[in-house]
Structure formats: C-alpha cells, structure tokens
Structure 1
Amino acid sequence: MRDRFSSRLGFILISAGCAIGLGNVWRFPYITGKYGGATFVLIYLFFLVILGLPVMVMEYAVGRASQKSAALSFNVLEPKGTHWHWMKYMCLAGNFLLMMFYTTVCGWMFYYFYLNLTGRFIGADQAQILSQFQGMLASPAVNLGFMIGVVVVGFYILSKGLVNGLERVSKFMMVCLLVLMVVLAIRSVTLPGAEAGLRYYLVPDFSKIQKYGWNEVVFAAMGQAFFTLSLGIGALAIFGSFIDKTHRLTGEAIQVVCLDTFVALVAGLIVIPACFAYDIDPGSGPGLIFISLPNIFANMAGGRLWGSLFFLFMSFAAYTTILAVLQNIMTMLEELTGWDRKRTLKTSAVLVIVLSIPCALGFNLWSFIQPMGAGSTIQDLEDFIVSNNLLPLGSMFYVFFCTAKNGWGWKNFLAEANTGTGIRFPRSIRVYCGVVIPLIILLIFIQGYWQMFA
C-alpha cells in the first residue's frame, strides 16, 4: 500500500518546500537587484506561469498515475517497446548531484545562524566579515562537520516515516519560514532609507534593462523561473504519487507555484530595501548573503537578533528542499533495489555523505581541483551539471513523454491531470506544450553554455 500524506495541506507545503530553496531566497534577490528590480520581477512572473506551471503539472501527473517515483514511473506508463524508462538514471543522478553541493551550502546557512546567534559579527567591519567567510570556506572541519550534520539529521527525520517524519517536520519548518519572512520584511521596509529600495523593487522602470540589454534580462528571467521550481529530475513527481485523486493537478500546482513565488518576492523585500538603506549594491552576486548582509546586521540596532532570524529563515528554506530530495532518493533506491526501508535509509545516508565530500573539501584541501577553469570549484561543476543540463533536459523529457504519441501521450496525461475537482488543464494547448515549451527549454539550455564559454 502506497504511503499517503495526512492532508492536502501537507502535500502543498512539502511540494512547496521542495521547490522553495536557495534559488528563491539567495539567487532571486541578487539577480533581481542586478537586472532592474520590478521590471525583472514582471518578466520572471510571466515565464513562471507560461513555462514552470505546465511542466510541474506534468511531473505531478506522471507520479500520481504511476504511483511510483521516477525510478519506476516511466516503466509503468510507457508503451511497450519504448525506452522512456532510461530517464530513471538521469533523475537518480540529478537528485544525488543536487545533494552533493546543496548539503554543504545548507551547512553554511546553519553555521552562519550559529555565528550570528553567538554574536560573532557584533561590531565587525567589512574586512573582518570577509575574513570570517573566507575562514569558513578554508576550514575542512566546518564544511564537513555541518554537511554531515545536515545529512544525518535529515535521514533521522525521514526514518520516522512519511507522515510523522517528513510531513510533520516540513509543515513546522514551512510555517516558521513564512512567519520569519514576514517579520524580517517588516523590519527591512521600516529601516531609514529603505524607501528607495522599495521603489526600485516595486515600481517598474524599463529603462534599467538597457544596461544589460533585453536579451540577457529575458534569458535570466526565463532561467530563474525555470530553475526555481526544481523541475526535471523527478523531485516533485514523487509527491504526486503520495496524493489521492480528489483534486485536479493544475489547481494543486498553482498553489505550490504561488507559495514558491510568495517566498521569492518576500525574500527580495527583505534584502533589497535593506541594501538601499545601507548603501550596498543589491546586485553584488552570491556574496550578498554571506558578506554584504552580515555587514548590515553588524551595524544595525538589534543586529544580532535580526541576523540570527535571517539565517534561521535561510536554513529552513534550504532544509525543506533537502528533506524532500532525500525522501525522493530513498524511495527511488527502495523501488529499484527492493530493499527494506531500514537498509535503504542507511545506504542512502552513506552514499549522500560520501558523494558530498568533494564539494565540502573543494574550497580547502581539494581547492587545487578547478574543473571549469582557474578559480572554479568542484561545486561550480556540480551546479552546472544539474542547473544547466539535467534540469532543462529532464524537463524536456517530461514534456515529450506527456505530449508525444509514442510516449504516455496527451490524452492519458489530460485524463490524469483533470481527474478530481478544481481547475482543468486546457486541452487546447497541446501544440504549445509539445512544441513551444521544448523550444524555450532548448534556448535556456543553449544560453547556459553560451554564457559559460563567452
């Protein structure tokens, strides 16, 4: 008997927790700051609806119809004589690769929560904060210790079961995350000088796009809308297999996308006004979180409290994704091998820890390994393989599987997506789903390589 979530709310919060991650709360604020604030947000939302939403419905439909993870879902649904089931290996590799660097970065978030909670940044200047960040990267003990802690605690939670483990903890963390975000956003927008940041973030000004050009900005928005939902590696499809057929899948996907978007928008509301209030460039890149923002908290009244709350929120955002993906890894291995839950859990934990070691050591003991050129790290390669290859190619695979005649097919997909009550998936957009979406995904894939080599 397939496990089931205890409630529809559990499914929505856990699915949203999987989609909500560092792409929302880390990448979205600085990429929005870089590409023109409100103008970029509008373009991003447009592509989120026309691109991300349909692919999410397709992943859910494959999972619910097969009642399996990506390990066996294609085996169950594919026509005889076809080879769609080879996709299982891309999905399994994608989930492992994502955890190979995500666990280390999540460890950084918890470490910075600890640093803020213990007052390490009180009175620190920018040079000291930069030194703290560099010291963290240079420490094998910090990187390995927090990475292992993240993985061990994650699998301990999952050992309690789908409802008592994953669902209960994810619900708690998601509620805490949303409350923390609202509190932090209120504090940010009430800082002296935050008004300029609010105007930049909320009032569209298309002239700002001229600095980078429409082409670069549109592709950045397309990429962010696509990658923020973690589509293409079966990370969301698994949760389709854990829900009943009471509700149509379009409505479920809309709720998850709305929650994911809310978190991204409020994250920008936390970061961008605070940057303007303290005269910091909101488009300063990945270092915004670990260098620029701690500098703000170090000079803010009550900065120890606000910094601790901020990195607790960041930790929860990252950890909900990790719990969801670890659950997917366990289920996939269990279905592929036939092992019992206890053996699968132990094997999965060991594999994730061992495979995560290169990233954790890639900033220190193994920093001489620079796979993508001088100054690059092992994490850069892992991220590139997942974000620029497995996610877009996997999503294209799901789209073709649900629309092609020699795949699962449009009629079967529609029948599953529209079972239950709620919003129907439109029958009339088959050509758009089967032709236009794959072309957009192909453009994103090519653009990723173009930017790398350019």
Structure 2
Amino acid sequence: MSTSAENRGQFGSKLGFILSAAGSAVGLGNIWKFPGKAYFCGGGAFLIIYLIIVALVGTTVMMAEFTVGRKTHKNAVGAMRELNAKWSWVGGLGVLTGFIILCYYCQVGGWAMKYIVAYIVDVKTIWADPTAYFLNNLLGADGTFPLQGAVIFPFIFLFLTAYIISHGTAGIEKMSKLLMPLLFIMLIALMIRSCTLPGADDGLKYMLNVDFSTINGVAILTALGQAFFSLSLGMGVMMTYASYLSNEDNLISNTAIVCTLDTLVALFAGFMIIPAVFATGIAPGMGGGFGFATLAGVFMAIPGGQLIGTVFYFLLFFAAITSSTSILEGTIAFLVEEKGFERKKALLGASIVIFIIGVMYTLSQAYMNLKGIWISGDGISYPIFGDFLEYLTDRLLLPLGAFFTTVFVGWIWGTDNSVEEATSYGKFKFTLAPVYKFIVKILDPIAIGAIIIAGLVFGMSIS
C-alpha cells in the first residue's frame, strides 16, 4: 500500500465496511420508491426482473467502482486522475452529483425526524388531515413559514451527519454498526405486522404472483433504474469507501454482500407496504407525498398505527442518515485531498452551503412563489431549487457518472486491471471474471444509456 494510503483513514473491520457501504446503498429510494414501482409494474414478475438486473448490472457497476477506489486509495477525483488524468472530470462529476443530492436529502431526513416527534406527541393533528399536515407543516403551503420543516429539523439532521463525518471512517463505522442492524430489525418487524393485517393476503398474493404478461419495456427500464439508483452508483461514493480498504479485503465477496443487503431492504419494504396498502385500500405512490402523507393515512387506518408509524419514521431516518454520511464523506474527501482544506473547515463550509440550498429546496415546493422561474423539459416544468434538482441528478448526472465510469473501466483502464484489483492480484478466486468483463464493457454502458435516453428523450421517470 502506498504511503498516501497509510495516512488516510481505514475501516476497522470487514463488517464495518460492509455495513457502511450497505448503509450508503440503502436509502429513501428503497423504502418509498421500490414498493410503488413493484405495485405499478406487475408485482411478482417485476421482482424477478429487478433481481436479475441487480445481479447483472448493479453488482458489476459497484465492483467497477470498488476496484478503482481500492486501487488508488484516493477520493473519486484523485482516483480517476491517478489512473488516467484525462478522466479526472468523471470523478468530479460524481462529487458534484452527490453534493446536489445531499442538499435535498438532508431536508427529507429532517422531515423524518419531525414526524418521529409528531407521532410521539401529536399524532392526532397529523391524522386529522395527513395531506394538509404534510403540505402546511413541512412545506408551508398555507403561507406560514415552515420553520420546523425547512430549518430546524433539517439543521439537526445535517448537524448529526456532519458530526459523524467529523470522526472520519471510525465515526461512519460506529454509526453503521449501530443503525444498520436496527434498521433491519425494524423493517422485519413492520413487514411481519403488515403481512398479518386483515386483508393483507391479497397484497401478498400480488407480490408473489408471477405473470410476465404484465412486463413491458417501461417495467424493465423502471427495474433497471431502481436497481441502479438504489445502490448509490454514479456518485463516486463507492470509490471513496473502497479507497479506505486494504489489499487484504475481498472486493468480490464484499460486492455480493452489499448488493444482497440493499436488495433485501427493498424487498422487505415491498412486503411491508404493499400488503398494508391492500389491507387499507389506499393506493400507493412514491416520493415525499407518499412517505409523509399517503402512508400517514395507512397508519391511521390500521390497529396500532401510532406505534407502527413511529417505528416507520425511525426506519426512514436511519435509511436517510446512513446514506447522507456516505455522500458527505465523498465531498469532504475531495475537499481535503484535492483542495487542501482542513477536515473541520471543509465540513463547516460544505455544510453551510448544503443547508442554504436545502432550505431553498423545501421552500420552493409550496411556500415561495416561483411560478415565474421555471425550467421546462420533456413537456414538464420544474421549479428551480425544487423538482429540478431531483430531475437533474436522477435523470442526468447520476446515470452519466456511472456510464462514463463503466466506459473508463471497460475500455480505458481495462477490465483486466479491474479483475486483478478485485482478486488482489490472484489472492481471491473470481470464477465469473469473463462474465464481469463482458458486462462492464458491453452490457452496462448499453443499460445505463437506455436509462439516460428514457429519462431525457421520452420523459420517463425511472429513478
């Protein structure tokens, strides 16, 4: 290992890295996007397509990022520059993408914290009108400045994220070892409770019934997009995390375990929400409105809803903060290693900018009148600081980052070099190496290119 690598932080154990990387992958998309997509795209047939895509595309893109990061022991920009200086901009694109995502991710994490408190002390106010509570208290749709939804709770969430990051890889590892097991315990408990509700049988049958006649091109692209985005690929985060590993770590098994854990969370979330939806007759959806308004209606309609809702928003908080720490670490590693900032100063400066942009994101949803400031595309208009940020990252920047990463690993750096790094130069066996090489060089660029085209040309929301 190089001297520079020795001076950097490292994960203290294999378990610490796996839980940290899985925590990065497990995010809001697993909890509130996957169930809705499974519901609208055919249930059991969609699950099978999703699993196949994760196995083929998700694991190979993740391993490609792992090998680049571990090979160089640098942040995303430094890693790409060391292997080929002309491609350092790809790492920069990933850092930028993660930074933008974090601006609104911390706001949503704050909303989860707000709902935890509200479910404990004031659940009747939420249940009086779940949709109005979400729009007014979090977004300020009634014209009242949403102090708690835009400022107080997002600030607390961002502060917690920065505090964890301030302790480097040790802080990330300790947080992941605590929260990831709790996340799984809560998720499994909620899934069991949901599946035992009166009327939940129809939901279970829907999720287990395999009818491939329900699968079309849109469903396949939706599964592809969900698998890709849920694994935190295209932001340089996995490169950065892998850069903290030693050559004694088995990247092949680590990749398989992280992808498996992330997929299990998505599947558990599906079996948690879809049976409850069938039991209550409330149609599912995706995104903030679904997570904070629709699901609040579901909890209101089932026995023990206050407790279940409280546990759910703790679950949402855990998923958000394990992802936000990984994204912020990617940004801070770049500022420290590439720009020469002291870690604490980098954290403070980045956090201030993230917080300001994040407040604008929440206020632009309903409180501020931004109807005169719109960017249009695909026949849809996106308000600045609002939906446009999600449009920019989900449909364009994330897939572009992953596309160029696979092109780089497949055709510039070379899959032979990637396989050598994955096996620690022959120390670990990689039976499927020929398959990996083919997928990274051919299949991954085609699949990710399809995501980009579907999102930009056809206006398809697949993230």
Normalising by structure 2, we get a TM-score of 0.91
1:281 maps to 283
Question: For structure 1, which segment, 439-448 or 147-156, has the greater mean C-alpha deviation from structure 2 after superposition?
Answer: 147-156
Is 1:392–2:399 an aligned residue pair?
yes
State which of 190, 194, 203 in structure 1 corresponds to 2:196. 190
Conservation of the 8 A alpha-carbon contact between 1:197 and 1:276: yes
Measure how far apart 1:144 and its partner are. Answer: 2.1
| 8 Å CA contact 2:69, 2:242 repeated in 1 | yes
Shift of 1:423: 4.2
Instruction: Note the alpha carbon deviations across 1:218-253, whole angstroms, 9 max, x for none.
Output: 111111111111211201111111111223312111
CA contact (8 A) 2:240 2:330 kept: yes
3-state secondary structure, aligned to 1:371: strand
CA pair 300-49 structure 1, distance change in 2 beyond 3 A: same
Alpha carbons 1:418, 1:425 under 8 Å: kept: no
Change in CA separation of 1:428 and 1:157 when aligned onto 2, cut-off 3 Å: closer
In structure 2, the residue matched to 1:246 is: 248
Confirm whether residue 5 of structure 1 aligns to residue 8 of structure 2: no
Offset at residue 375 of structure 1 (A): 7.0
Q: How far apart are the structure 1 equivalents of 2:455 and 2:146?
A: 31
Would the alpha carbon gap of residues 403 and 453 (structure 1) be closer, same or farther in structure 2, given more than 3 Å must change?
A: closer
Identity level (%)? 33
Of residues 64, 69, 73 in structure 2, which corresponds to 1:67? 73
Aligned-partner Cα distance in 1 for 2:314–2:115:
9
Partner of 2:311: 309
SS at structure 2 position matched to 1:2? coil
Instruction: Determine the structure 1 residue equivalent to 2:227.
Output: 225
Are residues 109 and 367 of structure 1, via their aligned partners in 2, closer, same or farther at CA, if it must alter by over 3 Å? farther
Q: Quick one: distance in 2 between partners of 1:374 and 1:71?
A: 33
One of 358, 372, 375 as aligned partner of 1:371:
375
Is 1:418 matched up with 2:420? Answer: no
Residue among 47, 50, 58 paired with 1:52: 58
- In the alignment, structure 1 residue 437 sits paired with structure 2 residue 447: no
Contact 2:60 2:436 in 1 (8 A): no
Q: How much has 1:85 moved relative to structure 2?
A: 1.3
SS at match of 1:162: helix
Does structure 1 conserve the Cα–Cα contact (< 8 Å) formed by 2:126 and 2:133? no
Q: Is the 8 A contact 2:251 2:423 kept in 1?
A: yes
* Alignment match, 1:35: 41
The corresponding residue for 1:111 is 114
Which of 100-109 and 439-448 deviates more? Answer: 100-109
Contact 1:414-1:425 at 8 Å conserved across structures = no
Q: Is it true that 1:88 corresponds to 2:91 in the alignment?
A: yes
- TM-score (normalizing by structure 1): 0.92
Q: CA deviation at 1:386?
A: 1.0
Q: 1:409 aligned to 404, 414, 438, which one?
A: 414
Give the AA of the match of 1:96.
F
RMSD: 2.0
- Note closer, same or farther for the CA distance 1:162–1:384 as it changes in structure 2 (3 Å cut): same
Deviations 1:69-126 (A, max 9, x none): 1121112112xxx51112232122111111121111111211122221124247935x
Shift of 1:411: 2.1
What is the distance in 1 between the residues matched to 2:127 and 2:421?
57
The answer (yes or no) to whether the contact 1:194–1:277 under 8 Å persists in 2 is yes
Matched, 1:380 2:387: yes
- The answer for the alignment partner of 1:199 in structure 2 is 205
Matched AA of 1:334: V
Contact kept in structure 2, 1:63 and 1:70, CA below 8 Å: yes
The answer on whether the counterparts of 2:357 and 2:385 sit within 8 Å (CA) in structure 1 is no
Structure 1 residues 99 and 285, CA gap change in structure 2 (3 angstroms):
closer
- Aligned with 1:83: secondary structure? helix
Letter in 1 for 2:24: C
**In 2, distance between residues paired with 1:54 and 1:429?**
6
Confirm or deny: 8 A CA contact 1:18 1:230 kept in the other structure: yes
Once the two structures are overlaid, the 10-residue window that deviates more, 28-37 or 362-371, is 362-371
* C-alpha separation in 2, matches of 1:431 and 1:21: 29
164, 168, 186: which one aligns with 1:161: 168
SS in structure 1 at match of 2:237: coil
Unmatched segments (≥5 aa) in structure 2: 1-6
Structure 1 distance, partners of 2:254, 2:286, is 35
15-24 or 279-288, which deviates more: 279-288
Shift in Å, 1:146: 1.9
Task: State whether residues 30 and 285 of structure 1, in contact with CA within 8 Å, keep that contact through their aligned partners in structure 2.
Answer: no
Indicate if the aligned counterparts of 1:334 and 1:344 stay in contact, CA closer than 8 A: yes
Is 1:231–1:391's contact at 8 Å kept on the other side of the alignment?
yes
1:435, distance to aligned residue in structure 2 (A): 2.1
Residues 101/133 of structure 1: CA separation in 2 closer, same or farther (3 Å cut) = same
